[in-house]
Chains A and B, each alone.
Chain A
Amino acid sequence: MTKPNVSGVVSSNVKLKLTVIFAIIVGVYIYTSWATDSTPIDIIRGWGGFQRILTDLFPPNWNYIPQVWEKLLETIQMAIIATTFAAIVSIPIFLLSASNLFPSSWIYQPVRFIMNVLRTIPDILLAIIFVGIFGVGVFPGIIALFIFSLGLLAKLMYETIEAIDMNPLDAIRASGGNTFQVIWFAVMPQVLPQFVSFSLYVFEVNVRASTVLGFVGAGGIGLLLQQQINRFAYPRVMTIIIVIFIAVVVIDFISNKIRERIV
């Protein structure tokens, strides 16, 4: 009787490939961690620093809360304004970038391209540029958030539109509806829940982003954080961090509950 030629569940070829891939990953890590001075040895060496910061941060200075609260509200307002305008302005953009509504690639490709480029620019970098133009204040921060959300929302929405049921569109077209009627009666009802849900998601992202815009002078709670760090007032820093943390968690929670109900 000949022995059946049973190979393992994972062929040796795949094993070799995996081994090579992991060797490369580890090799690159050794180089990058060395080049950025971030090897595990550095972590052990930096341990004293971590301990010092942790002991400096506690206990938080609760008397500082009223000032923090004021800036927190400003931060949330910035996110509300930016998200609202981004949601409104994104409507024509995502309609134009959906390939099933405007099949000519001359329309949707350039729009998508611009939106893709916008999304690659970090929002805080946009904020720096707008602070350079408009001066310090909340306005440049709002504009930066607005532009970043526009790219994000447009992408999420055109992907949703491309997945909708095309039959209602054909039906309305067949009974003589024009483009506007097709969009209003066939597209919008199908994507409205997602639109609201994504807008809320973008709002969450914006709240998180606007907490740090103050680092570059674009308004919000980040300004306080930067100031107190520079003064080494760590108990106050901890208060700000706790307030940011609670605000983000609460807003995410509420927004998630609403989104669950909608979709």
Chain B
Amino acid sequence: MELVMPPKKKRSVYKLIRNIIIALVIIAIYIWTFVTIDIRWDRVFSEHTINSISRVIPQLFSPDWGAFQKVMGLMWETLLMAYTGTLMAAILAIPFGFFAASNMVRSKLLNGLSKGVLNGIRAFPELVLALMFVAAVGPRPFAGVLAIAIGSIGMLGKLYSEVIESIDMNVVEALQANGANKLQVLFYGVIPQIIPEFLSYAIYRFEIDVRASTILGIIGAGGIGTLITISIANRKWDEVGMILLVIIVVVTIIDYTSARIRKRIV
């Protein structure tokens, strides 16, 4: 019996050479990384480390319930910061979203400009923004709120513009054909189509911002992070354990609730 084998793939020399070059580049990157990285192994595996492991780990896992109220108070402030920042961003991102959407604003220049700004914002780590705002308005929650508001515009604006670009344009054309003016088209044709998705993305961004604002306090921008720095400075690892526990529980509850709300909206 003659076996019919599947046809063999052609192997071109070009592809072979290309793959070898890619492999060499990757290997070179790894060699460079592992040779030049400055890890102080003597310090990593020193007696000091062993001592700290035996001191830190058990304390982390036995949270200090005495600090519970203080931690919850600051976690509450963190949530307020996240909410204020997200809502500001959710509103400020709307014009960016419209200007970036090519079916709403028919100008390549404005589309590109708006997309450029949004991409630029997304390249900044939130903590760097927060550092700038702390320098500008002083170490208080306001700085954190601003960092979150500005940082969230990048992602929300991009998602908004994608939502707007995917709407059903037939509705818009039907309204225009019936003589509706721009404002009427916007209110009866566009907005009803985009509200659920906009809300859903804003809620999703709130999840991310809660996570982000837990750490803003490390550089003095308010919220629970402030306490983290203090507890670490005093080597109160059981307090850090409590903070970790609260962050994990609160973030999980918010993620879960937000996912359920988003499922109902869209």
Residue A223 at the chain B interface, CB threshold 8 Å: no
B222 contacts A36, C-beta separation under 8 Å: yes
Q: Tell me if B232 and A128 are in contact (CB < 8 A).
A: yes
Q: Mark A112-123, 1 if CB is under 8 A from B, else 0.
A: 000011001110
- B192's partner among A10, A117, A244 (CB-CB below 8 A) is A10
How many pairs, one residue from A and one from B, have CB atoms within 8 Å of each other in the complex? 165
Q: How far is the CB of A98 from chain B (nearest CB, A)?
A: 20
Pick from A27-35, A101-109, A158-166 the stretch touching chain B: A27-35
Complex interface bits, B59-82 against A, C-beta within 8 A gives 1, otherwise 0: 010000000000000000100110
Residues A24-56 near B (CB distance < 8 A): 25, 28-29, 31-33, 35-38, 42-43, 46, 49-50, 52-53
**In the complex, chain B residues 134-161 whose Cβ is within 8 Å of any chain A Cβ:** 135-138, 140-142, 144-146
Whether B142 pairs with A42 at a CB distance below 8 angstroms is: yes
With beta carbons under 8 angstroms apart, the residue of A35, A38, A129 that contacts B240 is A129
B247 CB contact (under 8 Å) in A25, A84, A125, A249: A125
Note all chain A residues with C-beta closer than 8 A to B36.
73, 77
Measured in the bound complex, the distance between the Cα atoms of B225 and A187 in whole Å is: 42
A125 touching B215, Cβ below 8 Å: yes
Specify which of A29, A128, A134 is in contact with B87 (CB 8 Å cutoff): A29
Question: Which of A87-95, A167-175, A178-186, A210-218 touches B?
Answer: A210-218
Question: Within the assembled complex, what's the spacing in Å between the Cα atoms of A87 and B127?
Answer: 26
Contacts of B244 in A (CB 8 A): 121, 125
* Number of residues from B at the complex interface, CB < 8 A: 65
Residues of A within 8 A of B123 (CB): 208, 245, 248-249, 252
- Residue in contact with A80 in the complex, picked from B33, B127, B137, CB distance below 8 Å: B33
Among A32, A128, A129, A248, which residue has the most Cβ atoms of chain B within 10 A?
Answer: A32
Chief secondary structure at chain A's binding surface: helix
Interface size class of A (residues with CB under 8 A): 35 or more
B22, closest chain A residue (CB): A258
Residues of A within 8 A of B140 (CB): 37
- A193 interface hit (Cβ, 8 Å): no
**Residues 40 to 95 of chain B near chain A (Cβ within 8 Å):** 40, 43-44, 46, 48-49, 52-53, 56-57, 60, 77, 80-81, 83-85, 87
Within 8 A of A (CB), among B7-46: 29-30, 32-34, 36-40, 43-44, 46
Whether A138 sits at the interface, judged by CB under 8 Å, is: yes
Chain B residues with CB under 8 A of A215: 127, 131, 218-219
For residues 227 through 241 of chain B, which have their beta carbon under 8 Å from a beta carbon of chain A?
A: 228, 232, 235, 237, 240
Q: Which residues of A contact B (CB under 8 A)?
A: 9-10, 25, 28-29, 31-33, 35-38, 42-43, 46, 49-50, 52-53, 73-74, 77-78, 80-81, 84, 116-117, 120-122, 124-125, 128-129, 132-135, 137-139, 142, 208-209, 211-212, 215-216, 222, 225-226, 229, 234, 241, 244-245, 248-249, 252
